[in-house]
Amino acid sequence: MANRATRRGFLKATAALPAAGALAAPRGAKVNSFAEANVYTRLGVRPLINGVGTVTVLGGSIMPPEVVRAMEEASRYFVQLPDLQRKVGARIAELLDIPAAMVTAGAASAIAVGTAACIARGNMEDFHRLPDVTGLKHEVIQQKSHAVGYEAQIRVTGAKIIHVETREELMAAINDRTAVLYFTNVSEPRGQIKRDEWIKIGKERNIPTFNDAAADVPPREHLAQYVKEGFDLVTFSGGKGLLGPQCSGLLLGRKDLIEAAIPAISPHDGIGRGMKVGKEEMIGLLAAVERYLKVDHDAERRLLESRANHIIDVMSKLPGVKASIVVPEIANHVPHVQLDWEGKLTAREVSQQLMAGDPSIAIFARDERGMTISVWMMQGDEHKIVARRLAELLG
């Protein structure tokens, strides 16, 4: 799906738009229709229908009841966080049948502490002087096409990023300063060097390989697949497809590197001190993983398809409007509605009016007259509201 909504795509597409609360609502419209959401509405913040997906700027996902219950129970007690981190990590690793795991403060945090682990390799003296990398392996090689905006999490460790495009450039870039070969899973189709070759070269040259697969569940098999393929470190977001706490992530992989990453994160001192993972997030993400491995994903897929088909049925009755189901090849691998139309309103204008309405609706403006609608995070009959509002605007 060439114009799919990415983790950063919605932010970029809406950067110039006013905030939902600042847009002028249509004449006669109520200010809010989520009256029960008093925790937000009392502050003047408008809850909205999420037609974009598991993007951070909208809060990621809605946690299932079992995750909320686990976090609430965890909040009642004090524990030693380093002990909890290791026990939760061991349990997640056992569930996934992989060597090791740890909970991080989101996938971006996992990138930072994972990179730190590859630089310091468990040497605490070296770790504590980061981002001073004098005399250390500190170069991170990345395909140029894989640079998607999260490189700051690598550089915060003091690492230097070396961009390559071909296998020949990769081999020439590897030297005695190379710390890690970094791969962005969603960018694989755009890069010349594919996963298997990236892993093979890392193994041959004894250099850790890291795969950022933050948004790449479902399917559930991916949680263990990339580690079993040979990546030394893999990260997933906890607050996207797993439906765990928004500010949580997973770092999975080699036991020695996970052990080296743990001291890089709070409550330990060092570059990750500000990346705090609370006891509630650790227990909540464990509950989310346990749930995710048991849930009926086929039934969930059928539900999403039925939502998408309802929107398509409504849109198909409008002249000059085309609607179809698309499933991104990698990441956010669930049914979306691709909407294109002929008419006066641009996608930006439609997005503005949807955000201004009651209830407020967020949808990704893909191009001049095209939108990508994610039904994944919609609840109840929200897809019917979205279809009706779009029909009013485009009809």
Residue 344's pLDDT is 87
Backbone angles phi, psi at 184, to 5 degrees: -105, 110
Per DSSP, the three-state class of 52 is coil
How far apart CA 331 and CA 338 sit, in angstroms, is 16
Distance CA 245, CA 353 (A): 30
Q: What domains can you pick out in the chain, each with its CATH number? A: 9-62+297-394 (3.90.1150.180), 79-294 (3.40.640.10)
Q: Token pair for residue 46? A: 């408008």
Measured in whole angstroms, how far is the alpha carbon of residue 225 from the centre of its chain? 17
- The whole-model pTM stands at 0.90
Give the Cα separation of 75 and 73 in Å (integer): 5
For residue 356, the model assigns a pLDDT of 93
- Residue owning tokens 């019917």: 384
Picking from 189, 187, 229, the residue whose alpha carbon sits closest to that of residue 209 is 229
| Average pLDDT by stretches of 10, the chain with 395 residues | 45 46 37 70 92 94 97 98 97 98 97 97 92 97 95 97 98 98 96 97 98 95 97 97 97 98 91 94 98 96 96 95 93 93 92 94 92 95 97 93
Omega cis (within 30) before 245: no
Q: Is 250 helix (H, G, I), strand (E, B) or coil?
A: strand
Q: Does residue 282 contact residue 103 with C-beta atoms inside 8 Å?
A: yes
If one counts every other C-beta atom within 10 angstroms of the C-beta of residue 12, the result is 10
